[in-house]
Amino acid sequence: MATRLTSCGELAAYRKTVAAKRDPNRTCVTVCGGTGCRACQGLDVAAAFRQAFQEHALEGKVDLRVTGCLGFCEHGPVVTLRPKGLIYVKVTAADAKEIVEKTLLKGEEMERLFIKDPQTKKRLRTREEIPFYKHQMPVIFGANFDLDPQSIDDYLYVGGYTALVKALTTMTPELVIDEVTKSGLRGRGGAGFPTGTKWASCRKVESNGKYIVCNADEGDPGAYANRSLMEGNPHSVLEGMIIASYAIGAHEGFIYVRAEYPLAVELLAKAIEDARALGLLGKNILGTGHSFDLEINRGGGAFVCGESTALMASIEGRAGEPRAKHIHMVERGLWDRPTVLNNVETWSNIPLIVNRGSQWFTAIGTGDVSKTPWGGSKGTKIFSLVGKVNNTGLVEVPMGATLRQIIYDIGGGIKGGKKFKGVQTGGPSGGILGVQHLDLPIDYDQLVEVGSMMGSGGMIVMDEDTCMVDFARYFLAFLEDESCGKCTPCREGVVQMRQLLEQIGAGKATMAHLDLLQDLAEVVRDASLCQLGVTAPNPVLTTLAYFREEYEAHIRNGKCPAGVCKALVSYLIDAEKCNGCTMCARNCPSGAIEGDKKQPHKIVLEKCSKCGICYEVCKFHAVARN
Amino acid sequence: MVKLVINGKEITTEKENTVLEVARAAGIDIPTLCSHESLPPYGSCRFCIVEVNQRGRTRMQTSCTLPVAEGMEIKTHSERVMKIRRILVELMLARCPESEVLRNMAREIGVPHCRFERVRGDKSLCHTCQACTLVEQMPMHAPAEVPSTFVGRSGCILCGMCVRLCDDVMKIGALGFEGRGMRRRVTTPFREPSEFCITCGACTSICPTGAIELLRVRPQEPLPIPSEFELGLANRKPIHLPFPQAVPRVPVIDPATCVNFMTGGCKVCEDNCQVQAIDHTQQDRIQEVDVGTVIVATGFKTFDPKRTPYYGYGVFPNVYTALEVERLVNASGPTGGEVTLRDGRAPKSIGIIHCVGSRDNKTNRWCSRVCCMYSLKLAHLLKEHTEAELYNFYIDMRTPGKSYDEFYGKLLEERVHFIRGRVGEVTDWAMTPEEEGKLVIRVEDTLAGFVRRIPVDMVVLSTGLEPQADAQEVRRLFNMSCGSEGFFLERHPKLAPVNTFTDGVFLAGACQGPRDIPDTVAQAGAAAAEAMVLIDKGYVEQEPNTAYILEQECSGCKSCIPLCPYTAIAFDEAKQKAVINEALCKGCGTCVASCPSGSIAQRLFEDDEVFSEIKGVLAYE
């Protein structure tokens, strides 16, 4: 580790020494060390590579790099080979040895480890060939391929902290803010407030101290883009925050990470330590006279602490409860001082904007931000594409990409060849959109117009086997647990909505209940104190709007079309189709199927738990679901 | 100056108010549950929500937290607002169906019934930690069952006013919220009895539904603050009007019990005072005033009947002093004029015992002069206020004064029983069935000639008058004397009842001896007249036989100064010599005789004058 750098010139020199030690043409094996791949024993794969290198005396000749998340999470552990750019998926530790012997030493490409195109059945070798990667625009996320998140040298090598130098030495704080405003960057946390405008308001306020805060609470179930950014490229977040501190005139910052992300905390802490050691954080950064330092605050397990006022209350040591926002955070935030709070992804965008300029940014996305940043949605957005798609993972697309592009082109379509039914965008507070919205360009305003929201970028895809009533109930149950309980409509209303949905799912509701549900949802939306409550009814309102037939089927016909609501589902064996193979009886967990071999089987309804396993395993389609 | 429109009415306001304050001031009623003028706005109940149109945008905002702004258009009862309020009431009724506050609100805004069910727990969320079973009032349940979701203490509508009051205003913080969402409830940290709670009761007084039991917060009865004026028969607050006839008729704050002095918080009185007359930072001021005359009117003390334990005061609950009964019969007293026993029953018989602490070798030897008359007065009033049999136990009936004896006669006609005899004891030990549950007065009826036991419900002790407890200290301050009983000594009992031996210091009232109001008023006039004579005349006529200091001879030993009975000698620090105030000197000669260096001489008694007199006497031989 080098000693503290005290000038930009020294940083430039240091960067040169780092570059001098690297050969861009040298073979490099990267193993994805994101949480998803770790869960699939990705680190064992890396260890196996290390061992294989040792055995074949390749140390010093081939690099091994454990990176952050590469986004292709359905198919991890993911290994890439440079400089060819080959991508091997679902690699095991045993495969590692083989890869070294075959691909590294002999140059043989291992077909079986390439991903197979589900339609053409062809094997796809590189990012340029794989549709999942081809259709993305990974200007932020792409850096994960080149970075060991624990190495600040890696970050410097790919041009990290050049934006910081540029800002500190060639731009005034006002110019920085101006550039960010002109770029049209809007908050990636979900509300989409123009970042530059926020910074400008904060800069104006006179105070004896200002704060920069990073919201890394990412509480939405199914969203993990922020986590992967922190785990893959923590320095990009830091760089963004340091630039902002210069622009606004703040000297202290906090990163509020949810406690459920221990790896992110660890990697951020290491990054902060390394940055401090090099002199990029702390007093008199690079001799420019600007000082800024950061601290990590861990959350306590509350979704509501993703809300800005609740987050700040939590940092201050109080209970995470929001307050009315007549006075904005930029005027009086943390400890009543001006505070800028931005999302992890927003911070990662800042170095790019400073380096490449606002014009580059405005060229990506929708709308026209020349007069006001509210006029469009610019830049890219990282989405966590999960649910019933073939390629679950993290995808980065320009604003304005359509749902169809994301789900089908990138996501590879619905798993098991089933039918697309709906997609939830924006986490539990987001709405559920249907088939009619597949060609909707994704941007802040369009999503709000149809009753959903961008949120943190969670995108949960559903197929014909998802019951919308049950889906809405599930998210309301989540929100019921996470509501802070301060205001009446959220605390009581969310629970009552959940109860109404349960009654509908149990077949005990009437059409009057549906009207009550609609009214209640509107009241909760209009009367709640913070966005948790305001957006909590979104699942209800959107499903009522776009999937009303499903509700009515539950109520009027007592049926659950997706076959999920157990009270309304019954399974029956068609004696004519059944050939007595006993597959269902053997798999039934409740022992509810009777029948002798080669004889038509029967389901004993009293014992049946409606799990649907018989339906799944019968190859003869003899089990009918009502 | 901010101009805005509320319900079509244009309103101008100068101060930085919230929409709620401005609306209420304009007579528009907006319902609230969690708002209070002593508390900072919170915005949790959402009932005060209004429709706000500003700069072309309409949004729903809580009026209690929304500051007024120029050009706002507010609708407080639009259809959208009413829909919200109705559903909110229904939601709250699902939580606390018995709450009167909510039912009234439901009636007012037209909610006929609640369409929501009481909340059931969500099985999928139960992780059988059994935390819910640890809360009082929650039934124990087997882990497999669905736990009923917390709904807080019955009646608690989670408005949070108690928490905010205790925390923000009183600055104690004994109450807080626990739990999230439906599990939210008001409790103490870890649900344990609070050691911080000062049992001020602010939370119980602000709670709109009476859901707080102070004993649950702190399991000890709050210490009441007994009212001094009501002699402990009633309680008062730290801020109180001492008594209705107080001059000036202004409340005072008792720093020993006021919460502001304890924690720096509260000040609810200051916030509510319309004319900003309250200032908690006031300090005692010591003022020095130069005067030429002093009238001492420091009054008396009532005899403490605990010194006569055989009368049962402080032991039997229904033994009262006469002064306490004065408060009971008074319409502005603690019972509003109802004379009742401690348990609220009306007494059927009352015994008034004269000469408690008077005419008594064991306590005070003197007659307190006023007790017979006030005992007769009380007997008369008690006869009016109750249906009780009255008994007066006296030694002599002392009724000097205009119409006093006639009053005594009237009472004899009113069938008050007068028994001549000093009461021996008051006991609750019953010897016959009629005496059960009563207080028995044992007395020798000297006119009848035998000892009687008279059972009564209530005993009144006519306590006598005594000098004040600090009479000795006060008399030293003014260089006065006290008589053998402890009352201040007048110069002459017949010819100078308002003067003391020190010129310029006068006496008035009961500090000089027991007396009633007419006599006190007369004496006060006399003392004032004497004082005014001195002031008016502007000079004092003295006997010429005053002493004086021979300055060159005086060595400054100060031995003469404490000897002067009239504090006429002072010490001049600059000259380091004694100085005699001729106005005070009475010519007693003590200092002359005591001066070790012979530096004090007395006029008319100088050595050569004395020798001349001797020579004159001897010349006759």
DSSP B371-410: HHHHHHHHHHHHHHH---EEEEEESS----STTHHHHHHH
Give tens-digit pLDDT for B248-258: 999 999 999 89
A89, A94, B177 from A113: Cα distances, Å? 6, 12, 56
How many C-beta atoms surround the C-beta of residue A416 within 10 A?
A: 9
Residue of B nearest to A304 (CA): B180
**Pair of tokens at residue A236:** 């990009």
B377 touches chain A (CB under 8 A): no
Q: Which has the closest alpha carbon to B33: B18, B23, B22, B43?
A: B43
**Pair of tokens at residue B160:** 């949070």
- As a whole number, the mean pLDDT across chain A is 92
Q: Which of A323, A481, A519 sits opposite B83 (nearest CB)?
A: A519
| Residue A521 to residue A526: CA distance in whole angstroms | 9
Q: Say how many residues make up chain A.
A: 626
Of A307, A476, A491, A528, which to mutate for an interface test with B (greatest number of B Cβ within 10 Å)?
A491
Answer yes or no: are the C-beta atoms of A37 and A263 closer than 8 Å.
no
Give tens-digit pLDDT for A406-463: 999 999 999 988 999 999 998 888 888 999 999 999 989 999 888 888 888 889 999 9
pLDDT above 70 covers a percentage of chain A that reads: 100
Which residues of chain B make contact with A488, given a CB cutoff of 8 A? 44-47, 88, 91-92, 158
Q: What integer pLDDT is reported at residue A563 of this predicted model? A: 84
Q: What integer pLDDT is reported at residue B504 of this predicted model? A: 86
Question: Per-residue pLDDT for B147 more than 70?
Answer: no
Q: Which residues pair with B546 in a beta bridge?
A: none
| Residue A453 to residue B383: CA distance in whole angstroms | 83
Region of poorest pLDDT, from A293-307, B146-160, B560-574: B146-160
| Residue A354 to residue A178: CA distance in whole angstroms | 10
Answer yes or no: are the C-beta atoms of B467 and B301 closer than 8 Å.
yes
Q: What integer pLDDT is reported at residue B150 of this predicted model? A: 28
Q: What integer pLDDT is reported at residue A1 of this predicted model? A: 52
Q: What integer pLDDT is reported at residue B40 of this predicted model? A: 87
Q: What integer pLDDT is reported at residue A582 of this predicted model? A: 85
| Residue A74 to residue A89: CA distance in whole angstroms | 9
B92 touches chain A (CB under 8 A): yes
Which residues of chain B make contact with A484, given a CB cutoff of 8 A? 180-181, 184
Q: Which of B60, B65, B122 sits opposite A477 (nearest CB)?
A: B122
Q: Which has the closest alpha carbon to A349: A214, A498, A522, A175?
A: A214
pLDDT band at residue B140 using 50, 70 and 90 as cut-offs: very low
Which pairing describes strands B176-178 and B389-394: parallel, antiparallel, or unpaired?
A: unpaired
Q: Which has the closest alpha carbon to A197: A355, A375, A380, A441?
A: A375
Question: Per-residue pLDDT for B129 more than 60?
Answer: no
- Is the preceding peptide bond at A489 cis, omega within 30 degrees of 0? no
Answer yes or no: are the C-beta atoms of B566 and B527 closer than 8 Å.
no
Of B91, B118, B129, B184, which to mutate for an interface test with A (greatest number of A Cβ within 10 Å)?
B91
Contact between chains at B46 and A528 (C-beta distance less than 8 A): yes
Q: What integer pLDDT is reported at residue A368 of this predicted model? A: 92
pLDDT band at residue A526 using 50, 70 and 90 as cut-offs: very high
A498 touches chain B (CB under 8 A): yes
Question: Per-residue pLDDT for A22 more than 70?
Answer: yes
Give tens-digit pLDDT for B327-376: 999 999 999 999 999 998 999 999 999 999 999 999 999 999 999 999 99
Which residues of chain B make contact with A481, given a CB cutoff of 8 A? 125, 180-181
Q: What integer pLDDT is reported at residue B142 of this predicted model? A: 32
| Residue A496 to residue B118: CA distance in whole angstroms | 9
Find how far residue A60's CA is from the centre of its chain: 36
- The pLDDT of A209-218, averaged and rounded, is 95
Contact between chains at B46 and A323 (C-beta distance less than 8 A): no
Which residues of chain A make contact with B95, given a CB cutoff of 8 A? 492
Answer yes or no: are the C-beta atoms of A547 and A456 closer than 8 Å.
no
- As a whole number, the mean pLDDT across chain B is 88
Residue of B nearest to A517 (CA): B116
Q: What integer pLDDT is reported at residue B348 of this predicted model? A: 95
CA of B160 vs chain A CAs: smallest distance (Å): 9
A567 touches chain B (CB under 8 A): no
CA of B221 vs chain A CAs: smallest distance (Å): 31
pLDDT band at residue A76 using 50, 70 and 90 as cut-offs: confident
Q: Which has the closest alpha carbon to A104: A132, A78, A130, A84?
A: A84
Q: What are phi and psi of B21, to 5 degrees?
A: -65, -45
Q: What integer pLDDT is reported at residue B131 of this predicted model? A: 47
A329 touches chain B (CB under 8 A): no
B482 touches chain A (CB under 8 A): no
Which pairing describes strands A623-625 and B49-54: parallel, antiparallel, or unpaired?
A: unpaired
Q: Is B355 helix (H, G, I), strand (E, B) or coil?
A: strand
Contact between chains at B84 and A491 (C-beta distance less than 8 A): no
pLDDT band at residue A571 using 50, 70 and 90 as cut-offs: confident
Question: Per-residue pLDDT for A121 more than 90?
Answer: no
Which residues of chain A make contact with B180, given a CB cutoff of 8 A? 302, 304, 481-485
Contact between chains at B181 and A519 (C-beta distance less than 8 A): no
Q: What integer pLDDT is reported at residue B370 of this predicted model? A: 95
Question: Per-residue pLDDT for B120 more than 70?
Answer: no
Q: What integer pLDDT is reported at residue B192 of this predicted model? A: 80
